[in-house]
Amino acid sequence: MTSRYLMGLAAATAIAFAAPEASLAADKLLLKTPIAFATALPGLGTPIPRVAEELDRMSGGTLRMKVYEPDKLVPPFEILDAVSSGKINSGYTTAGYWAGKIPASPLFSAVPFGPEAGEYMAWLYYGNGLALYQEMYDQAGFNVHVVPCAIIAPETSGWFAEEINSPEDLDGLKMRFFGLGGKVMQKLGVATSLLPGGDIFPALEKGTIDATEFSMPAVDARLGFHKLVKYNYFPGWHQQATLFELLINKDVWTETSEQHQAIIENACKASMADSFAEGEAAQYAALTENVEKHGVEIKQWSDEMLAVFQETWSEVAAEEAANDPFFKKVLDDMTAFRENYGVWKTNAFLPRK
- Predicted pLDDT of residue 27: 83
Q: Are residues 232 and 262 in the same domain?
A: no
Q: Are residues 51 and 143 in the same domain?
A: yes
Q: Are residues 195 and 322 in the same domain?
A: yes
Going from the C-alpha of 64 to that of each of 87, 254, 258, 275, the distances in angstroms are 18, 17, 15, 20
Let me know: does 331 contact 314? Beta carbons within 8 Å.
Answer: no
Structural domain including 210 reads 158-239+282-348
Q: Are residues 178 and 139 in the same domain?
A: no
- Predicted pLDDT of residue 352: 81
Q: How far, in Å, CA of 60 to CA of 326, rounded?
A: 41
- Predicted pLDDT of residue 85: 98
> What does DSSP assign to residue 300?
E
Q: Are residues 177 and 318 in the same domain?
A: yes
Q: How far, in Å, CA of 53 to CA of 64, rounded?
A: 8
Q: Are residues 233 and 335 in the same domain?
A: yes
Q: Is residue 7 part of a domain?
A: no
Q: Are residues 183 and 310 in the same domain?
A: yes
H helices of 66-127, in order, are 79-85, 117-126
Query: Which residue numbers in the chain have pLDDT < 50?
Result: 1-26
- Predicted pLDDT of residue 12: 40
Task: Say how many domains are in the chain.
Answer: 2
CATH code, domain with 121: 3.40.190.170
Beta strands 297-300 and 231-234 are parallel
Its sign, for the CA torsion 310, 313, 314, 315, is: positive
Q: How far, in Å, CA of 55 to CA of 48, rounded?
A: 10
- Predicted pLDDT of residue 19: 37
Number of Cβ within 10 Å of residue 310's Cβ equals 13
With residue 278 as reference, give the H or E element that holds it: helix 258-294
- Predicted pLDDT of residue 325: 98
Which of these three, 254, 280, 306, is where a domain ends?
Answer: 280
Q: Are residues 36 and 181 in the same domain?
A: no
Instruction: Please calculate the CA angle 230-231-237 and round it to the nearest 5 degrees.
Output: 140
With residue 234 as reference, give the H or E element that holds it: strand 231-234
Let me know: does 133 contact 108? Beta carbons within 8 Å.
Answer: yes
Q: Are residues 41 and 164 in the same domain?
A: no
Let me know: does 142 contact 84? Beta carbons within 8 Å.
Answer: yes
Q: Are residues 253 and 186 in the same domain?
A: no
Q: Are residues 275 and 295 in the same domain?
A: no
- Predicted pLDDT of residue 5: 37
Q: Are residues 73 and 180 in the same domain?
A: no
